[in-house]
Amino acid sequence: MFKEISRNKAFGGYIVKYEHASEQLSCTMKVNVFLPKEADQAKVPAIYYLSGLSCNEDNFIQKAGALAEAAKHGLALIAPDTSPRGVSIEGDSDHWDFGTGAGFYVDATEEKWAKHYRMYSYIVKELPGLIHEAFPIDPSRISVMGHSMGGHGALQIFIKNPTMFKSVSAFSPVCNPIHCPWGVKAFSNYLGSNQDTWKEYDTVELLKRHPDVHLDVLIDVGTSDQFLERELNIENLKDVIKELGRENEWNIRYQEGYDHSYFFVASFIADHIAHHAKALKA
């Protein structure tokens, strides 16, 4: 099932890179799993982390400083890749913001992409099934978080699967992808021209469609984020939250002077891990 690629001891536990054959994506995928020392004795809670455009399974693990925080709370971390790899579709590596490294956590419906680009089902269905069978992780205590494209993934996945995850948070999420260049590019290619289908993967639109889903969301975004105005659409999210009277479910923090980088993520990762730990240990 999982083939171990590398193993390093860290903060009393182990960070291990695995590869496996994915049925959903029809290719070989890699994933990093951090297990704290508590996993030697019992099943532990876990956080799934979804990375952003051009990232792979390593960026978060190596740059965010999350291992120390997860170890502090006795939490596992699962960091998957952001797209299928090595599938050789014409045009899948022509742009940094589409194709390889940019699966956008959707299930593609357009014929060219539909066989391999099924990142939504990979994250929601296939990967958890494999992980929870292979490792000492409690499937009743998992959460999801992400950054940028991965923040979009975490939010829309949580809203559509509220009984699967205990909590959600995001750094610099793409909140309204049907109205930003990144999202339009990805959705039009993966999902075709039917924008009703696009709305099934858009946080702003999903909030309107799922009024009964209870949320406790932490979002951080930097005021100097180079993508703040053009791509993230945080204000669109805030508008619909206010319109629906759900302000008490969202803690959206603007962090002065911070940008879109992993320096920003590392600066506030402790708050996000603590946010999830509170829910996972409740």
> Residue 2 is encoded by which pair of tokens?
């999982």
Q: For position 84, what pLDDT does the model report?
A: 98
pLDDT, tens digit (0-9, with 9 covering 90-100), for 34-82: 999 999 999 999 999 999 999 999 999 999 999 999 999 999 999 999 9
Exactly one of 116, 152, 260, 272 is catalytic; name it. 260
pLDDT, tens digit (0-9, with 9 covering 90-100), for 226-262: 999 999 999 999 999 999 999 999 999 999 999 999 9
Token match 């962090």: residue?
255
Q: For position 168, what pLDDT does the model report?
A: 98
In this structure, are strands 13-22 and 27-35 parallel, antiparallel, or unpaired?
Answer: antiparallel
Distance between CA atoms of residues 278 and 73, nearest Å: 9
Beta strands across the sheet bearing 3-10: 3-10, 13-22, 27-35, 76-80, 44-50, 137-147, 168-171, 217-222, 250-255
E strand or H helix at 96: none
**Can you point out the beta strands (E) in 23-175?**
27-35, 44-50, 76-80, 137-147, 168-171
Q: For position 57, what pLDDT does the model report?
A: 98
Exactly one of 225, 272, 275, 276 is catalytic; name it. 225
pLDDT, tens digit (0-9, with 9 covering 90-100), for 140-159: 999 999 999 999 999 999 99
3-280 topology per CATH: Rossmann fold (3.40.50)
pLDDT at 124 over 90: yes
pLDDT at 282 over 90: no
As to burial, measured by CB atoms within 10 angstroms (0-12 exposed, 13-18 middle, 19+ buried), residue 144 is buried
This prediction's pTM: 0.97
Q: For position 88, what pLDDT does the model report?
A: 85
Provide the residue ranges of all domains of the chain, joining segments of one domain with +. 3-280
- The type of residue at 109 is T
- Catalytic residue check, 148: yes
Percent of the chain with pLDDT over 90: 98
Contacts of residue 258, defined as CB under 8 A and 6 or more positions apart, other chains included, come to 222, 223, 224, 225, 264, 267
Exactly one of 22, 83, 143, 148 is catalytic; name it. 148
- Catalytic residue check, 225: yes
Mean residue pLDDT of the chain comes to: 97
pLDDT, tens digit (0-9, with 9 covering 90-100), for 252-278: 999 999 999 999 999 999 999 999 999
